[in-house]
Structure 1
Amino acid sequence: MRPLDVPIGVSDFKALREGGKYYVDKTEFISDVLRAPPQVLLFPRPRRFGKSLNMSMLKYFLERSSEDRRPLFEGLAVMRDQDNLAHFQQYPVIYTRLGTVWAGDRVEARETLREEVRRIYEPHAYLLTEGALTPHERARFLEIFERRADEALLGSALDDLSRFLHRYHGKRVVILVDEYDAPLHLSQVHKSFAETVELIRKFLHSGIKDNPHLFKGVLTGILRVSNESIFSGLNNVVTYSILRSECATSFGFTEEETKKILRDADGHDQFERVRIWYQGYLFGEQSIFNPWSVLNFVHQSDVRFLNYWARESPSDFSEELIARWFTQCYEDFEKLLREEVIEKPIQDHIALRDATNHQETVWSILVMTGYLRAEAVDQREEDEDGEPLCKLSFPNREVRGRFTRIFKRWMEAGIGGKPGLAELELSLLEGNAERLAVLLEGFLLKLSSYDRAPKDVEAHYHVFLMGMLVTLEERVFQVKSNGESGHGRYDVMLIPKRPGLPGVVMELKVLPASGSKVPSKAKVDAALDAALLQIETLEYAQELRERGAKPIHEIAVVFSGKRAWVRSRRASPRRLPPR
């Protein structure tokens, strides 16, 4: 491929255009914002989907400036619409990125917000020398400039500055707030949510609630935090989430845009693999590619499919939630890893304060942050809150890979880290039934969901066992379940990566659990014998023989509550006639 000079890490629109970087035209977003009836618009999108670049683009188009910025937009879609040109460089713009506000605690949040507000005021320092301020206003402006502002002054900073600018320019202002929710995510991790919400709410409210000096407000973030927190009382904010069709193509790349990028990079023959790795997001009804990953892919001369988005996205609040709810949502997570679809009601407004206490919030957060694809299905009567029911799955191979690594880290921790994983592997390779039973029981004790008795008890344990064994997939075995071999379908099979290595076929049985009462030894022995007889009679080991596995361990596993029993033997060397 021919590497393209793409804007990796460049979020300043002017620097991108003047630097001659490759650009996918997203200036229709300007038209969409100007045409949209709401005064204040919020666009929640996953990280690395071009939010900051689009906000910078809006700033350079709408902001009053002595320089002619037409060259920045030459040849782009926005310049072909006369209605847009009526707004070109017409407004004073207040631009802030709240990603600079760190909320480890209230003091840190206040100090970093004080610094960000100073940065907001700095481009408008001309107001101090133009006689545009009263003595009282000038004093307030200087308090901010000299980093002496208290919380009350920080809370009114946007209202004050918009009033000053409106009066001076005779034009209402545009307020652009990028990464508005960044301090809230950090505050969740550091347990300072309530204090941070109060500080950020006052700051934002002063600029976008009932502000007569406001022409248009645009906010971007990852989530739409619900009304009872940051947006309490802000009825003029309309959210354009990924569940809506409006502005669906403004963030991320469409299929046609991606095909053009690949053609320009002489990589059109890689489109199908790029689609598998980086497409799959659904915004409205539009299928969207991850722009960060696509641009990183064409930035190199060799063809390398890597986890670009996953690699550059730090561990975040979403991953904290996955760890928090893993045991309770275990079956759903494991189904997703097996590329099955689950159905959940999805909200586009998130109560972050409830995220660690209410399981249903987890799925909405994972959708909005880009970990899951949500495809809406018809609402059903049982959806009491009226939330749309969605089919959830991983959008692509890249995201599935990241989730698999999170899953494996948790599973490894559950069996004692790397040593426990090595012990599990050795137990299977040797057919060590006694040690395998100890490992299975130890891990069952960590999963609180196994205190319950679901409708399909055997499937419940099947999911558990498959989740545990998937940690070995990249090491020794290919892990398969419910496959055909011999005269029937085995429960679990571990196929060696190459001939001559041990293979394993497993049959599961479940005995009813009654409180702390343990099934009798006779019942357990009978179940173990039945499982081994089933493996032998139906020739479940046939596929392993055909794959050259040596030796083959036939393993029976019996579960009851949080107890596990295991019996193992080596399969006989006989073979069935070829099928």
Structure 2
Amino acid sequence: MPNSSYLSNMKKLPIGLQDFRGLREGDNLYIDKTPYIHKLIESGKYYFLSRPRRFGKSLTLSTIKELFQGSQELFEDLWIAEHWDWTERHPVVHISFSSIGYQHHGLEKAIDIMLEQLAETFRIKFEREGIGLRFRELLEKLSQGDNKVVLLIDEYDKPLIDYLHDMDKALENQKILKSFYSIIKDSDPYLRFLLVTGVSKFSKVSIFSDLNNLQDITVHPAYNELCGYTQPELEHSFDGRIQQICQQQGIAKGQLLAQIKEWYNGYSWSGDSFLYNPFSILSYFSATRFQNFWFATGTPTFLIELLKKRRFYKIEKIKVSPIIFESYTLDNLESHSLLFQTGYLTVKDTDEFGLITLDYPNKEVRDAMYSYLIAAFRQEEPSLSTPLVVQLRHAFLSNDLEQVISIIKTLFKNIPSQIFIAQAEAYYHSLIYLTFRYLGVYIESEVNESDARLDAVVQTDTHIYIFEFKLDRSAAEAMQQIREKGYADKYRHEGKAVVGVGVNFSSEQKTVEEWRAEEVRRV
């Protein structure tokens, strides 16, 4: 990537800015992605790109718009300034479905209003009726000889994602979009370039089935770094701010970079190149403290409820087939695919058999997802989940098992009894599993679930606690299993007291019925 001056380190942070012209004219920081954009334009004509929300899709489209409009002054000092034919100019039709008012007017009417506005902008008078015919007429009249149209469609799936809780409405909107987009198939003579972006792929096949030459670059290795920041880009473009934070907080540069990486890095669509979330990074350097930025801007209520309904909570380190990258239909939303497409899971690795490992991209997403899932199963606000887990950490560090059990009891307190009794095992497994997984954020903790068994290991500076959880059995049976299975053997060289904790949970009473603890090995 091209170098920019050191002064760029302290340019304004473009938090939420998606307009390339406004960003450049306002002296904001811009990470130069124009080499990728140039390659995209020169390599093909029809493209589809899926990326999570707030990941730079809209800014990419805006940049392409200014290129084709010949706005040379905006690209000064960028790589493409010397690699673009500035005599090439085209009319650009830029459509963003996030701003057309479909929730107020209805989708078809909103599209019609949007087309009228475009016609007014380009000084075109429609002679036809209907959104499909008017869309075709717009492209025909804008295309004059070699002056073909550049068509940029942002958030193509927004009218669908906003109605995932109302499948009838979502499917109705899908039909309208399919009819609207079908015009593109026979519009090749009028088009110079097309890029469609969105968060999901689950409607791509249904909506663009007629457009068989639409190239999906979502997982194309050449475009993995088109959106998002790489490690070198972060260290170069934010160097001044990094040094400033190090001085203010008295922290070594390497330590700060490691923390930033843990919190906000980890997104990948190839498994070999990992990226930072732009919104989270810009927000962090503005606030200069670590917190949940991206997750908080769009709480995935529908997704959380779907995972709860499906009892799908073991999300980390999942092995899946490459079919995960394929599109799914609206009425057949596959959990792994949905989590991946929306950015809550990302590609971490691909093995020799082609199987892909999906995992949380980073600490920001992992912590927030644990918090929201625990809250969903407990039927309470997410803000109450984290303090509970922090209290659990303090109890372990104080070696206060009475308090540990008390907090575990609190986990189940707010769940209505009639709901819990009907789904006791699901609630019991999910809450224990999620809580001890979340505990691992604050203290060394592991939890395993298999063959209807649930166990966890928590390590402090002085103790190793081995938990065996039972449902409607006995604490004695749990302790016996810890001893007979030799769970403590692997920790014999740790130099810490190893304590077994047998816990029996009553589905009828919705609480810990009994528990016992004993030292099973001391080295």
What's the TM-score once normalised by structure 1's chain length? 0.70
Partner Cα separation in structure 2 for residue 437 and residue 281 of structure 1? 32
Matched, 1:275 2:261: yes
CA positional deviation for 1:102: 4.8
State how 1:90-101 maps to structure 2 within 5 Å. Answer: 90-101=89-100
Give 1:33 shift.
2.5
Q: What do residues 96-140 of structure 1 show as CA deviations (whole Å, max 9, x unaligned)? A: 1111245559x6112322232233223202x4xxxxxxxxxx353
Selected match of 1:27 from 34, 40, 64? 34
In the alignment, is residue 310 of structure 1 matched against residue 257 of structure 2?
Answer: no
SS in structure 1 of the partner of residue 179 of structure 2: helix
Number of residue pairs aligned between Structure 1 and Structure 2: 481
Amino acid at match of 1:62: F
Name which of 8, 14, 22 aligns with 2:21.
14
**Contact kept in structure 1, 2:308 and 2:377, CA below 8 Å:** no
What does residue 133 of structure 1 align with?
none
- Aligned pairs for 1:131-170 within 5 A: 138-140=125-127, 153-167=130-144, 170=146
Could you tell me which runs of 5 or more consecutive residues in structure 1 were left unpaired when the two chains were aligned: 128-137, 142-151, 381-387, 451-459, 484-489, 512-523
Judged with a 3 Å threshold, the aligned counterparts in structure 2 of structure 1 residues 211 and 74 are, in CA distance, closer, same or farther, namely same
Residue 292 (structure 1) aligned with residue 268 (structure 2): no
1:178 matched to 2:125: no
Kept in 2: contact 1:50–1:291 (CA 8 A): yes
Mark the runs of 5 or more structure 2 residues left unpaired by the alignment: 1-8, 244-252, 396-400, 449-453
Rounded Cα–Cα distance in structure 2 between residues aligned with 1:433 and 1:277: 27
The 3 A distance-change label for structure 1 pair 554 and 254 is: closer
- Structure 1 residues 542-553: aligned runs within 5 Å: none
In structure 2, C-alpha distance between the alignment counterparts of 1:94 and 1:432, rounded to whole Å: 61
Q: Could you report, residue by residue, the CA deviation over 1:474-516 in whole angstroms, capped at 9, with x for unpaired residues?
A: 9xx9684479xxxxxx9446789999xxx986433579xxxxx
Say if 2:116 is the partner of 1:118: yes
- How far is the alpha carbon of 1:554 from its aligned partner? 4.9
User: What amino acid does structure 1 have at the position aligned with 2:308?
Assistant: F
Distance 1:80 1:296 in 2: 32
Give the Cα–Cα distance (whole angstroms) in 2 for the partners of residues 539 and 266 of structure 1: 45
Instruction: Find the partner of 1:393 among 332, 337, 359.
Output: 359
1:508 to 449, 459, 469: 469
Q: Is the contact between residue 504 and residue 555 of structure 1 (CA under 8 Å) also seen in structure 2?
A: no
**1:557 aligns to 2:504 (yes or no):** yes
Query: Which residue of structure 1 lines up, in the alignment, with residue 47 of structure 2?
Result: 41
- Residues 184 and 296 from structure 1, CA distance in 2 versus in 1: closer, same or farther, beyond 3 angstroms? same
Deviates more, 1:208-217 or 1:557-566: 557-566
Q: Deviations over 1:546-568 (max 9, x none)?
A: 999xxx99543278999998433
Correspondences of 1:109-508 after superposition (within 5 Å): 109-125=107-123, 127=124, 138-140=125-127, 153-167=130-144, 170-191=146-167, 192-226=169-203, 228-241=205-218, 243-267=219-243, 268-269=253-254, 270-284=256-270, 285-300=272-287, 303-312=288-297, 314-316=298-300, 319-326=301-308, 328-330=310-312, 332-333=314-315, 336=316, 340-356=317-333, 361-375=334-348, 377=350, 389-413=355-379, 429=403, 445=421, 447=423, 465-467=432-434, 480-481=445-446, 491-492=455-456, 506-508=467-469
Describe the SS at the equivalent of 1:218: strand
CA gap of 1:355–1:102, structure 2 versus 1, over 3 A, is farther
Is the contact between residue 414 and residue 443 of structure 1 (CA under 8 Å) also seen in structure 2? Answer: no
Alpha carbons of 1:435 and 1:96: their partners in 2 closer, same or farther (altered >3 Å)? Answer: closer
- Paired residue for 2:249? none
Report if the CA contact (8 A) 1:461-1:559 is conserved. no
Matches of 1:114 and 1:159 in 2, distance apart? 13
> Residues 125-182 of structure 1, C-alpha deviation per residue, up to 9 Å, x if partnerless?
2x4xxxxxxxxxx3538xxxxxxxxxx5212232111111113x65111111111111
CA shift for structure 1 position 407: 1.3
**What letter matches 1:163 in structure 2?**
E
Please name the residue that 1:486 is paired with: none
- RMSD of equivalent CA atoms: 4.5
User: 1:88–1:557: structure 2 CA closer, same or farther, 3 Å change rule?
Assistant: farther
Distance 1:186 1:430, change over 3 A: closer
74, 79, 82: which one aligns with 1:80: 82
Cα distance, 1:564–1:435 mapped onto 2, change above 3 Å? closer
| Amino acid paired to 1:273 | Q
Q: Percent identity?
A: 22
Change beyond 3 A, Cα 1:198–1:449: farther
CA–CA distance in structure 2, aligned partners of residues 444 and 89 of structure 1:
66
Deviation at 1:42, TM superposition (A): 1.0
